[in-house]
């Protein structure tokens, strides 16, 4: 649970949107409407923070072989499958995960896809470090890692110059649900901040830190050494 209900607030350059726990399909529709409005110039750039009930999403380059459960098992476990326009393969969303979707006009910010991926991974890395977990990018594997365990995944789409989708950071996520998939086509174990620390964390506070860290990086502040991969997953 997020522990607060805040629909949104404006800053100088972003509209910060807190959607709480929201069904992935409903969130996707809302996200696409926001994207369309941003393309039309009717709204400012936005950073959306949300948590989803269990769901799987298959990106444009998704491989059916990386879905390890059949329709019956997914239905029995109440897990929906969505085919979406982001890059990357298959990934999992579920309770205890902080998900941030930047809906940004990249051209107006002088930002490329690689720069946005770097900002997202850097924000997740900053957030993990703040809570005492040392995470790092791996140029040979997409996402953010603690040793050989995957902590966060990134998947983006850019349509008409405006970004869609974003980053999922495992905070208190139920890691056994990742057994439904071969995440981003990789045979790797997932992890979470809770697993690494041996205790759960307040998801709302972690999520707000994540959004703040992303805003700082998009403003060009607080950048750390390193060059996260622009691959997604």
3-state secondary structure of 85: coil
Residue 184 annotated to the active site: yes
CA dist 219 and 231 (Å) reads 22
What string of DSSP letters covers 145-185?
A: EETTEEEEEEEEEEETTEEEEEEEEESS--GGGGGGB-GGG
Distances in Å between the Cα of 9 and the Cα atoms of 13, 16, 43, 87, 191 are: 11, 5, 13, 29, 32
Given 56, 116, 181, 184, the catalytic residue = 184
CA dist 69 and 44 (Å) reads 40
CA dist 180 and 229 (Å) reads 26
Distances in Å between the Cα of 231 and the Cα atoms of 81, 140, 141, 143, 153 are: 23, 9, 8, 8, 10
3-state secondary structure of 15: strand
Distances in Å between the Cα of 96 and the Cα atoms of 5, 89, 132, 153, 185 are: 17, 21, 18, 14, 23
Active site residues: 184
């Amino acid at each position: 649970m997020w522990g607060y209900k805040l629909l949104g607030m404006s800053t100088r350059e972003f509209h910060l949107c807190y959607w709480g726990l929201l069904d992935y399909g409903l969130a996707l529709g809302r996200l696409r409407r926001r994207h369309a409005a941003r393309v039309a110039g009717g709204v400012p750039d936005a950073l959306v923070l949300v948590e989803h009930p269990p769901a799987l999403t298959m990106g444009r380059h998704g491989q059916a072989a990386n879905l390890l459960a059949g329709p019956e098992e997914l239905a029995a476990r109440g897990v929906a499958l969505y085919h979406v326009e982001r890059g990357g393969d298959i990934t999992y969303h579920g309770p205890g995960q902080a998900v941030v979707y930047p809906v940004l006009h990249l051209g107006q910010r002088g930002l490329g896809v690689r720069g946005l991926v770097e900002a997202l991974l850097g924000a997740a890395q900053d957030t993990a470090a703040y809570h005492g977990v040392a995470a790092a990018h791996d140029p040979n594997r997409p996402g953010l890692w603690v040793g050989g365990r995957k902590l966060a995944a990134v998947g983006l789409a850019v349509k008409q110059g405006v970004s869609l989708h974003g980053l999922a950071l495992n905070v208190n996520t139920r890691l056994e649900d990742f057994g439904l998939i071969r995440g981003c086509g990789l045979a790797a174990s997932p992890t979470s901040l809770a697993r690494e620390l041996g205790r759960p964390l307040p998801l709302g506070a972690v999520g707000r830190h994540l959004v703040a860290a992303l805003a700082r990086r998009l403003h060009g502040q607080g950048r750390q050494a390193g060059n996260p991969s622009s691959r997604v997953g």
